[in-house]
Amino acid sequence: MDAIFKALNDPARRALIDSLRATDGQTLSELEAQLDMSRFGVMKHLKTLQDAQLVVARKSGRFKYHYLNILPLQEVINRWINPLLAPQAQAVTHLKARLERDNTKNRPDVVMQTFIRCSVDTLWDALTDAATMGNWHFLSPKVERSGDTLIYYTPDGHIMMKSRTLSLEPKSRIEATFEPNWEGGGAPSRSVFLIDAEGPNCRLTIEHYDLTFAVVQGEGVADGWTRWAAGLKTWIETGQGIRFSDAGAVA
């Protein structure tokens, strides 16, 4: 957490975060054009933000795109800010900038990253075992597997969404469809989970592709992945089944 506060303690780095909040997935050249400093200076600030896990870079073709990773910021908010805010005031902390995104298959629309203190085996099991997902999924208390497809149910028993596995690289990568069954959920898209071991921890990267609508940080699909990741991390690290729903954390 010290790295996060250090990264935020610079106006240039805050400007980079604001820029990515407004338009995510920018190249170094695009970010450099917005700051009155050298290319090397921008690279140095981006490196600090990446070290704090506030920015995640993804290469596509000749370009490297930079994405705002809101999960560490959400952890800071949950620990230091939310307890001090009245419930009616919490809404003002949501990020409101709309992101104009291209929907090419090679460039993700959402990138998030978090660290979980567990083994690769434990994280892999949590991501593939339907029987336990209902304990921590923020909206679905019941998940079933039918062949290569996970079926998520709403609390009243209706199918909320389906996720069909497209490819697996055991213990390192899962690519699956994202097929919402709720009104306004959009057309089917794709999600990718990437697992990397780092000592006693695992780094989990979430990528979402082919969305047919603009992503809004702190709302919609971006907010859903934040809550999903918080539930998964809590379940693995503490054994507590907590659903971080929009009505608040409910055990």
C-alpha torsion 113→116→119→123, nearest 10 = -60
Say how far apart CA 79 and CA 91 lie, in whole Å.
16
Where are the domains positioned within the chain? 1-68, 89-250
Read off the pLDDT of each residue in 19-42 and give the average, rounded to a whole number.
90
Q: Examine the pLDDT at 59 and tell me if it is beyond 50.
A: yes
The residue among 138, 206, 134, 129 whose CA lies nearest residue 175 is 206
Q: Which of 1.10.3210.10, 1.10.10.10, 3.40.50.20, 3.90.1150.170 would CATH assign to domain 1-68? A: 1.10.10.10
Question: Within a 10 A sphere around the Cβ of 87, how many other Cβ atoms?
Answer: 8
Band of pLDDT at residue 98, cut at 50, 70 and 90: very low
DSSP string over 14-61 = HHHHHHHHHS-SB-HHHHHTTSSS-HHHHHHHHHHHHHTTSEEEEEET
Query: What superfamily does domain 89-250 belong to in CATH?
Result: START domain (3.30.530.20)
The residue among 126, 116, 26, 39 whose CA lies nearest residue 134 is 126
pLDDT at residue 245 in the model: 83
Half-sphere exposure of 137 (CA within 13 A, CB side): 23
Contacts of 141 (CB under 8 A, 6+ apart): 134, 153, 155, 243
DSSP-derived letter for residue 236 is: H
Q: Examine the pLDDT at 199 and tell me if it is beyond 80.
A: yes
pTM (2 decimals)? Answer: 0.66
Say how far apart CA 134 and CA 160 lie, in whole Å.
13
Say how far apart CA 73 and CA 121 lie, in whole Å.
27
pLDDT at residue 92 in the model: 45
Half-sphere exposure of 176 (CA within 13 A, CB side): 20
Q: Examine the pLDDT at 36 and tell me if it is beyond 90.
A: no
Three-class SS of residue 194?
Answer: strand
pLDDT at residue 82 in the model: 55
Question: With contact defined as beta carbons under 8 Å apart, do 35 and 25 qualify?
Answer: no
